[in-house]
Structure formats: structure tokens, C-alpha cells
Amino acid sequence: AAGKPVVLDEFVFAYVPDLDPTLAINRDETLPAESHIVHRQAVNKTGLASENAVAYSVTLGTEVGHFDFNWIGLINKASGIIGMITHAPAQKKIKTANGLQGNVLTRSFLLEFEGAAKEAAIMTTAETWQIDFTARLSGIDEMQRLMNTDSYGEAAFFGDGFSVVCRGDRYTVKKGLAYIGGLRGELAFDQTLNRLRDTRVYADFSYQGNVVSQWKTVVHIIAANDLKNYIDAAGYPHYVFAVAGIDGHGDVMDLRIKGSLNDRDISAIHQEIDSVKREYVTQQALESGLHGKQPKGGYATNAALTVVSENADSRLAKNQNGADIPNKNEFVKNIGLVETVERVMNAVPNDRRINGKSLSADISLMAGDVGAYHQTTYMTELPGRHYSGPFSCGRENGWAKGVSIGVGGDTGQIWIDADAQLHTRFLNANGAVEQKITIGIPIGATIEWHTAAPIPAGYEPNEGRSFRAADYPELAKIFPDLKLPDDRGLFKRGLDRGRGLDSGRSLGSVQGDAIRNIT
């Protein structure tokens, strides 16, 4: 080895047809043909058996397969030099798939020659590292998952993690931490989805790894109408939860469950306490109320009350307000109030007024008397704050007609000028003024968009996209083929319309590149 350690760092598995494992191995044997090699894997462990013997071991986990093998070699990966070979009866290596458990195989070679440990630079004793702990570790993982479920339920989210935010047709799933199906997972970066309608957004958690690797929770974001927990082709269980629903208009409904079960229980207790506080009065308030209804003092006995009750049976009941009088007309006649009653029935209460106008005689009521808007007020300029109602005013470019609506010192105005432009203005009580002009654009019109900023909602680029008449009925009248124009990379030409420069061109047609001879 020219003073360098003997390095054997790769196992090679092959299936060699017609190989007889009972025959002696030729010391000049080379690697099988590449078409016969079924698997290569780095040495997992090396160990010291004695100063003259070292062990090399490899573990084929449940994620490896499917293949048969009857030839195993231990080689130096860099040079391809073979250190050891064994022939064996054909064996199967099966990986976990479709819910069926695969097998785990461990193969070890013992290399023995004088000074082997020193030449191979291996000083670690080989003890129990060849034991298969797969079942044991899987049981521990499942126990931990169930314990997390006891604490966090089916799912638990924190802060704005995994929340879905809509901006136009782009939906962003926010990064964060969550528990789903007892698995703790983290979305490391915001994830973007496009053009979602009538669907749900699911978080998909699965715990993945192999026998010799570090296991971790793999997180995926999936848009689907309905998704249940499932087992993938590699045998890994997946636990899913809908974090948001998207309706036909693209609006988002947050479906996340916030916090652990303990957090939810504490929140429910606080809500119950608040409800009890609202429903039950304090002792002090109860005593105060009772004293107000029934002051302290002496009260009649039951016997005395019985006498009073018997005397009252033959008298008018005060709380009936005369309703227990058998013949009310005779009663009015007997006490001489017939004329008085007639006057009262025909009288106008002249102490009543409407907007300062007495009811002692016939009056005329205007809209302003009952709080309705008064007639249009004519002004020389736009009204300021503290004016409410319709107005017509002169401006430099013509007349404007509109209305002012004031609330609490703030005034909003809407008016239409002589050019049929709609103006909106807000006069804030603090002196600030905001004003905009709204100009309508016909459906189907093409406008120039000279900016890299996103196209506003309600507009689509002329990129030849198809659309549904049910979604855009007015647009379908302009483009009955249900497809927008595709102006990308084209040079626009104006329609000739009788000028005679390009009279043969029809509306919406395209002029290709013209080839000219240059001499």
C-alpha cells in the first residue's frame, strides 16, 4: 500500500446468471458486467475484530429495492480494485411500497491478514452496530406522533404560519410552524400558487428517511378539491389538513386551527368566564336593586291584607285604568263629561309644532321641514365642508352638478362636470383633501400599460387567452370566439378607414415582417 491505508469503501451487488455458489472463486475474478450490477452502496460501518482482522458492514434499508443478487464484492470506489468477493444463493431485496413492509438486509465481510487493522487504519471495535433497530425506531416514532396528537389534536397552527393571502390571482402560503397528524413540520419559505378557484389548499406532512439517514418531516402544499390521509408508493404515511378554502370569486376562507389543545381549552374557559360575568350580577348590585324596589319598614300581616283585598273587590282596580267599568258611556254621562270628551276627540293639540310651525291652524310642510334634502342649491364654486345636499355650481371649465354628504366634520362629495367626467372628493376635518377623476373604459377596449407594475384586477393582457362566456358575457359580445387578441411582439397598425394608405387591411389583422432588398 506504499505506506497508505488500505481503503475499501463500497459494496457492489450483482446478479450473475448461471453462477454456482458452490464452486471456488477464481482469485483473478473481476467485477461483473455493468448490466448485471443491481446496486452499489457505501460501507456503513467498519470495525476492529483483532489486530489481524477487520470487519466491513453495509445495511440495505427498507427504501432499497426491488432486485435479486447472488454476487457481492467489496471494492475501493476510486480505483475499482476489488478487495473481497463472495458468491451466494440468489436472494431478494424488497423495498417498502404500496403499504407493504420491505425487508432490511445487513451484509458483513471479515478481512483477515497479518497487521490488517494497522494497514486499514481501523481502530474502532466492531460490537453491536449490525443489529437492525428498524422496528424499534419505527415504534418510537409512532409513539411520539400519537403523543403530539394528544397535545395538538388533528392540526395546530401558530401566528400567520400556513395562512393563505390573496393578491390578484396570486396566492401566497405564509411560512411558519405547524403540527398535522402529530408531525411537527415547518414551511421554511413562503410558497406561491396561481389562479385558484373553487378549491382548497392543503398542507401535506410526511415523516421520511432511511435506516442510515436523519429522518425529517417533508412538507408539501397542494391545491385539491378533496384530499385525505394516504400512503405513498414508497410506503410513507401522509397526513393532510385544509388550511384555506377558495371560492368561485377567488376569496379566501381561513380554515386553520390556532394553537395547541391547551391553548384552545384556556381560550374556551376565558370565553365562558366572560359569559358568566355578563349573565350574573354582583352581590352589591343585587342588594342595591332590591332596596330600591322594596325599602325597609313595617308591613301588614296576612290577615290585614285579606280584609283590604275583600274591600277592594267591590272597587275599581287602579291598574285597570277604568277598563273594569261595565258601561263606560253611562259612566261618562253620570259624571257630566260628555261634552268635554267630544271636544277632546275633535281637538288639535296646538302646543305641538313641526319645524317651528304651530298646529293651531292649517300649515304647509316642505321637504326640509321633515329632514329631507332641500332643493338644489346654486353656487359659484364647489361647496366646502359643513354643506350637505345637492348642488349646481360654476367652474372654470363649465358647470358641475353633485351632492355633498357630511358626517362629523368630514365631507364626501360626488359630482359630474360638463365633460361627463365623474369626480370624487373627500374633505377631511383635519384639512386634508383627496380627489380623483373616474374615466370609464368600454369593455373590450385595449389600453397601453407602460409600466412593469402588475396589471390591475379586472384587466387581462392581450396574450391570446381563452375565457368563458358565462364569466364575461359582455366581453363575449366583442370577441365571440371567446379568445382575447394576442398582441405580443407585434407592431400595431391603425385601421385605414378610407385614407388609402393600407386600404386592404381588415380590423384585427396582423402584418408580418417585410423583406426588402437593399442595394
pLDDT average per 10 residues of sequence, the chain (519 residues): 78 95 92 95 87 88 92 93 93 86 88 85 65 66 88 91 92 95 94 92 90 79 94 90 93 91 78 72 65 63 71 65 73 72 65 71 66 71 83 78 83 84 86 81 83 85 91 91 88 78 76 60
Say if 54 falls within a structural domain.
yes
Q: What is the pLDDT of residue 429?
A: 84
Q: How far apart are CA 71 and CA 51, in angstroms?
A: 28
Preceding omega of 66 cis (within 30 degrees of 0): yes
Say if 156 falls within a structural domain.
yes
Containing domain of residue 193, as a range? 138-263
Do 66 and 112 belong together in one domain? yes
C-alpha 419 chain-centroid distance: 45
Do 259 and 230 belong together in one domain? yes
Say if 150 falls within a structural domain.
yes
Q: How far apart are CA 310 and CA 323, in angstroms?
A: 20
Do 126 and 202 belong together in one domain? no
* Domain C-terminal end among 216, 240, 263: 263
Q: What is the pLDDT of residue 316?
A: 63
Do 71 and 112 belong together in one domain? yes
Do 126 and 216 belong together in one domain? no
* Residues 6+ away with beta carbon under 8 Å from 113: 52, 119
* Domain C-terminal end among 263, 293, 318: 263
Q: What is the pLDDT of residue 298?
A: 64
Residue 157 grid cell = 397552527
Number of domains in the chain: 3
- Measured CA distances, 143 to 103, 137, 150, 206 (Å): 22, 10, 11, 15
Say if 383 falls within a structural domain.
yes
* Domain C-terminal end among 403, 438, 473: 438
Do 47 and 28 belong together in one domain? yes
Say if 349 falls within a structural domain.
no
Do 126 and 143 belong together in one domain? no
Do 94 and 196 belong together in one domain? no
Do 63 and 145 belong together in one domain? no
Say if 205 falls within a structural domain.
yes
Say if 430 falls within a structural domain.
yes
**Contact at 8 Å (CB) between 88 and 20?**
no
Phi, then psi, of 74 in degrees rounded to 5 = -110, 120
Q: Give the SS3 label for residue 92.
A: strand
Q: What is the pLDDT of residue 156?
A: 93
Do 153 and 87 belong together in one domain? no
Do 39 and 106 belong together in one domain? yes
* Residues 6+ away with beta carbon under 8 Å from 121: 5, 6
Phi, then psi, of 137 in degrees rounded to 5 = -65, -40
Do 146 and 90 belong together in one domain? no
Q: What is the pLDDT of residue 256?
A: 94
- Element housing 333 (H / E): helix 328-334
Return the DSSP state at 466: B
Q: What is the pLDDT of residue 213?
A: 60
Say if 213 falls within a structural domain.
yes
